[in-house]
Amino acid sequence: MTDAYDPEDDGAKMSFSKDMSYGDYLGMDGILGAARPLSNAHDEMLFIVQHQTSELWMRLVLHELSSARALMLQGRTQEVFKMLSRVARIFEQLNNAWDVLRTMTPSDYTAFREDLGQSSGFQSHQYRLIEFILGNRNRAMMKVHEHRTELHRMLDYELTQPSLYHVALRLLEKEVGATFDPAIFHMDTPHAPDPAVMDAWTTVYRDPHAHWTLYDLAEKLVDLEDYFRRWRFNHVTTVERIIGFKRGTGGTSGVKYLRRMLEVELFPELWHLRGGL
């Protein structure tokens, strides 16, 4: 019989009393220690891990979107395509994650529902920041963060910045030689469809080769919104499967509220122009 494998003989570093280890670098004590179920219900751990991992991915989404916007403002549009594709893939990843959560039945969820109190994803400041960066801006959504001044300030600051779509529209103005109504660029309201913007994007789509960078950017934005829509749809379907038409822990009408959110259009002209091509 051969001797059992010893990684130390193979050169693996085995002592980390003085050096940074894997767990040290990644802050694993903090991450794993953050999962603290409040009940004895078996499925509460699934519920917590699912939310925490989603928040970690959202953190990366914010990192990518902030950099993408900064690069676009510098005119380095080609460099953002990779980032926007990555964000779409992150949403795809989050979409696949619903399959794990769907293994939880209404009975499983009811076993710890009361322990959640009034906490809800509705109060996710990162989700709200993602929506604000993309352009779905609504000050009323910030109220739940008033007791956390640093989070509230972050959201407030975001509303002083042009959204990713605003920045794309500035590039579009230059590309087709248009000047859009200044009201489009109001920082703290959601973007409403505009005929001049629609015409300009249509020009790009009628002759992609003449406007390749903007065309590529537009398709990356559509791709991102496509995957985001799937996330909203998977969320509301999972919610209906688990709580039916009960009110949410956050106090909204639940599925009714989430169905309303399915109507959100982040980049409306990019969807509407398709019917006219």
Residues that bind ligand HEM (CB under 6 A): 47, 50-51, 54, 101, 109, 120-122, 124, 127, 235, 238-239, 242-243, 248-252, 254, 257-258, 261
Q: Which is nearer to ligand HEM, 91 or 201 (CB)?
A: 91
d(CA 192, CA 189): 9
Question: Least separation, in Å, of the C-beta of 248 and ligand HEM?
Answer: 2
> Of the two residues 66 and 120, which places its CB atom closer to ligand HEM in the complex?
120
Cβ proximity to ligand HEM, 91 vs 109, nearer residue: 109
Closer Cβ to ligand HEM, 53 or 161, answer by number: 53
Per-residue DSSP letters for 99-111? HHHTT--HHHHHH
Nearer to ligand HEM, 69 or 128 (CB): 128
The CA radius of gyration of the chain, in Å to the nearest whole number, is: 23
Q: Which two tokens stand for residue 120?
A: 């809800």
Provide the b/e sequence for 222-255 (b: ≥16 CB within 10 Å): bbbbebbbebbbbbbebbebbbeeeebbeeeebb
CA 117 to chain centre: 25
Count CA atoms closer than 13 A to 120's CA, side-chain side: 14
State phi, psi for 10 to the nearest 5 degrees.
Answer: -85, -5
Return phi, psi of residue 241, to 5°. Answer: -65, -30
Q: Minimum Å distance from CB 206 to ligand HEM?
A: 34
Q: Which residues contact 239 (CB under 8 A, 6 or more apart)?
A: 248, 254, 255, 258
Q: Within the chain, how many helices (H) and strands (E) appear?
A: 12, 0
How far apart (Å, rounded) are the C-alpha atoms in residues 165 and 267? Answer: 7
Pick between residue 118 and residue 149 the one whose CB is nearest to ligand HEM: 118
Q: Which is nearer to ligand HEM, 130 or 169 (CB)?
A: 130
